[in-house]
Amino acid sequence: MRQTPNARAFILLETLMALTIVGIALSLFWQARLFQLDVDAKVLRDFAETRLLRDVAILRDLDALEQLDTRAYAPLGADDVQRAMTTAPMHGGQ
């Protein structure tokens, strides 16, 4: 007697589970990407802040604050630069 192979398609539950797994993987990838962008932005801001505070402190010691290049501390804005110019501690003198 000839036996026919038991061909079976995916059932709906299996398909939905596969789609869910793909969805979770894509969501994790997307979140990792956003997190990386966030970390990069924070690192850049931290570097710029450190540089700005140091430069302001030195220029204040030298009484040459007008030489500060306010465009050179991106991503910090003009407000941040102004705030640093009023709050930065002294560098320690010559």
Partner 1 sequence: MLRAFSLLEILVALLVGASLMSVAGSLFGHVLDYRQHADATRSTIAHDMALQLLAADIDNSLAGLPTSPAIAITQLPQGGHRIALKKNTYAQGIVNIALRDIVWTLEPDKITRSVTGGTDPVIVATGTFRSDITPIQTVAYHLRLDSGADVKSVILWRKGGRL
Interface with partner 1 by CB under 8 A: which residues?
A: 26, 33, 36-37, 40-41, 43-44, 47-48, 50-51, 54-55, 58-59, 62, 64, 67, 69, 71-74, 91-92, 94
Quote the distance between the C-alpha of residue 1 and its chain's center: 68
Written as one string, the DSSP assignment of 29-61 is: HHHHHHHHHHHHHHHHHHHHHHHHHHHHHHHHH
| Cβ-based nearer residue to partner 1, 16 or 62 | 62
d(CA 29, CA 5) in angstroms, rounded, equals 40
Residue 39 CB, nearest distance to partner 1 (Å)? 10
Q: Shortest gap between Cβ of 21 and partner 1 (angstroms)?
A: 15
Output 21 or 26, the one with its CB closest to partner 1. Answer: 26
Q: Minimum Å distance from CB 48 to partner 1?
A: 7
Residue 34 to residues 23, 41, 42, 82, Cα–Cα distance (Å): 16, 11, 12, 30
CB closer to partner 1 out of 47 and 83? 47
